[in-house]
Structure 1
């Protein structure tokens, strides 16, 4: 387009829609919410995406409590008090992986190429996708707790402890999702992204305090378990559900969350912008 044609188009546009009446560009919050709503609409049109947040939590809770309960605690009733907070964390942490897989699939289809052309806050396209997945995490968490209550789980911290635990875990899950966002942007295929994500998730979830007391592990392994962010959030969730409100442990979880976002957020945005 020539310079004269461009100026003429701008002049016509200003006549048709004066500057004072032009809509303002979407801000960071509104654009992020819009992309989050898009993520929810995808679930509406493809409800099979909820399979991992409905069937998977039930399977994990029932399977691990019945398999390990007798061997580790002498019975399911005693073990369920230890297990539910751990499986609560494990399920939501495992589900965060699908955020990256969905992102990788959208990018491979060229959807985000169109998003990049819009005059909106660039990170909102990624932040919105992560915010939309908070609904999936909430559904999975509710199912875990309902199944736990049916199996005899009784948190000493009552409703307050459960709600605080839920909110803290949602924050942690959102921050952890930036890791899988980075992985999704690095890997060229969805299968590769899943393989790398599982490679990271397996030691994080199983070499932790989710299923057994770390004191039963070898000394050299206990060091890793103690600094494992999953172990830290599990210990804090157990305290909150047990009615123990330790400000130090809660602050440590928030520090881990801040570090995850500070490290993997900028890397993800760099990779995302580089794909433009």
Structure 2
């Protein structure tokens, strides 16, 4: 690391990846919430700001990871899907999309997409798993470039059904970049029979603690050094599913989407500030 807080690493394709450790990274801050170790002091400062006021947000992060496992298990199993395009890969964790999908269907192919150099630097762990798992550095806000990327086209058959995963991604896209237009383009490109899995920060508009927490976290994320993290209304999140058939139980709080068993603990205010759902393109 040099005096400006910039360090070099080797990316997923063997190319140098420049990591700026003087500014928080979305991937590294999420890593803090999940109790990981691939983060720097600047990331831990963002985490500490939120954790000191709303420690329940750690549980929400874990609920998001557990939701991703349940959704992937369903998609690779009963839904019969064998192709996954996971946008916003983030840092490798204890259980990643490809591990869950390939446990259910050993032939499932997974391509992760991210544009964060720190993800590229740590992506080797994903690539070493097997020849059906790949990491591509690309910008998810540019759907035509993503869907036309040579490596993605090489590893996925995009003319037949696949799963598009937008998990904790679009809430980092500001309104000025038109996230609904971005999502519409992805949906238009999906073949019939494809699925979308989505998690998004939610402003419950409850006039109380839920909205208060949403505003606080948004202030820390979007208006702080990290620069993104927007809480949207149910109606705004539902609009991402335009043109799709949302599966039961609909767009719901994470722990309410086909849980593995009965809830042993009462919901917290943090449970109100994220929604998730799975939808199919007819």
TM-score (norm 2): 0.30
Q: Name which structure has the greater RCO, CA cutoff 8 Å, separation 6+.
A: 1
What is the TM-score of this pair, normalised by structure 1? 0.31
In proportion to residue count, which structure has more helix?
Answer: 1
Which structure has the greater CA radius of gyration? 1
